[in-house]
Structure 1
Amino acid sequence: MLLLALDTATPAVTVALHDGASVVAESNQVDARRHGELLLPAVDRVLAEAGRKLDEVTGLVVGVGPGPYTGLRVGIVTAATFGAALGIPVHGLCTLDGIAHAAGQAGLEGEFVVATDARRKEVYWARYADARTRLTDPAVDRPAELGERVAGVPAVGAGAVLYPDAFTEVRADLPQHQSAAALAALAVEKLRAGEDFLPDQPLYLRRPDAQVPANYKVVTPK
């Protein structure tokens, strides 16, 4: 087994290579505006560090969001392209699940919430029973409207750090962005357990910012 994992659904451009036993190389760069520019060099760097070639990869793992429209698509399109070119499976995972798994690897136990920045003064979030068990579907909401749904439990992620008034037990010491290493480790666990994955399709939760105008101005020839 040799899994190449990547995710661009948060400001992190993150790539990792997992051989089924451990992560053999990884790259993490936080830059919300350069996903497309940074991702492929990160893949090359990770493969070179591990001393492996792309055609040795047996499966792709990709975070499918939720996340902002443009950044999210970079990782998914890249994974889908690699998968089609190499003839190997592409396993989709919720980005929030990857952050939750990283929090568990860092020692967090019991119930908690993961929240990432959705911009527009909103967060993408979900609640977990533990690092492997999500209790709610991913959602996008204004932090002030979450109330009891996030109160009284630790909160992980950049979205929680941004809104400490809503997330009352913020764990800023735990991962704030996605980690492809954690995503790959989670995928290995799921593969061994025979669990299902998500399709490699973006989980947007809301419409993109760009919209087709509802009414075009009629122009008549002179």
Structure 2
Amino acid sequence: MLVLAFDTATPAVTAALHDGERVLAESTTIDARRHGELLVPTIETVLREAGASLRDVTVLVAGSGPGPYTGLRVGLMTAQALATSLGVPAYGVCTLDAVAYGSGLTEPFLVATDARRKEVFWGHYQDLRTRLSGPAVDRPQELPGEIPLVGAGGRMYAETVGASRLLDAPDYPFAGALAALAAEQLGERDVREVVESGTHPVLSLPLPIYLRRPDARVPSAPKKVSS
């Protein structure tokens, strides 16, 4: 198994290659405005560092959000296009799940990422593998109180959520953690059938998780002007 994983749902444009046992290569650039420009070169970098080619990849995994509309779609559309051209399966993983897994935490905590508009995307976790609720989008002051918090969304609003709640963990869904989580889940038998049924707790089809309607709207019919 050779898993190529990447995520563009946050300012981290990140990709990694995993052989089912360990991360072979990982590359990340933090830039909220250049997802489309950076993703393919990032993928090329990890393949080159691992001494592999796209034709060696057997599984594709993309972060499915939640995240801002444009950046999120860069990763998911790339996964769908590569899956079609390579003839390999592609899966989606909730971006918050990747942050949680990368934290390594074994006690309850929240993950929060920046949702813009002074809001955060968040989820509640029992441990690094188990999401209890979410994903959801709310203002920082509406997050459940007194629960430890990880992720860039919490750090951005430290004064609101309470700096003492912030734990020392990665702020972003780095692709090494995303790939490792997916590889762990892909070890299950008949995983493809379970994913397609929509009942897998972590893996899904590579489709975006949208928690808001897009800003763009189809124009309504023009108003009639009386003569």
Same fold per TM (> 0.5)? yes
1:67 and 2:62 are equivalent in the alignment: no
> What is aligned with 1:48?
48
> What is aligned with 2:132?
135
> What is aligned with 2:173?
178
> What is aligned with 2:209?
203
1:178, 1:170 → 2: CA distance?
19
Partner AA of 1:180 in structure 2:
A
CA RMSD of superposed structures (Å): 1.7
Mark the runs of 5 or more structure 1 residues left unpaired by the alignment: none
Does the Cα contact within 8 Å between 2:6 and 2:15 map onto a contact in 1?
A: yes
What is the CA-CA distance between 1:137 and the residue it aligns to? 2.2
Partner AA of 2:157 in structure 1:
Y
Partner AA of 1:182 in structure 2:
A
> What is aligned with 2:95?
95
Does the Cα contact within 8 Å between 2:146 and 2:165 map onto a contact in 1?
A: no
Partner AA of 1:199 in structure 2:
L
1:166, 1:128 → 2: CA distance?
21
Q: Deviations over 1:157-187 (max 9, x none)?
A: 0110111244334436311111110000001
Matches within 5 A, 1:1-222: 1-104=1-104, 108-146=105-143, 149=144, 151-168=145-162, 169-171=164-166, 173-194=168-189, 196=200, 197-216=203-222
Q: Deviations over 1:91-137 (max 9, x none)?
A: 11000000000001xxx320000000000011000000000000002
Does the Cα contact within 8 Å between 1:161 and 1:170 map onto a contact in 2?
A: no
Q: Deviations over 1:11-37 (max 9, x none)?
A: 000000000110000110000000000
Superposed structure 1 runs of 4+ greater than 3 Å apart: none
Mark the runs of 5 or more structure 2 residues left unpaired by the alignment: 192-199
Does the Cα contact within 8 Å between 1:65 and 1:203 map onto a contact in 2?
A: yes
3-state DSSP class of the match of 2:204? coil
Partner AA of 2:213 in structure 1:
R
What is the aligned-residue identity percentage?
Answer: 57
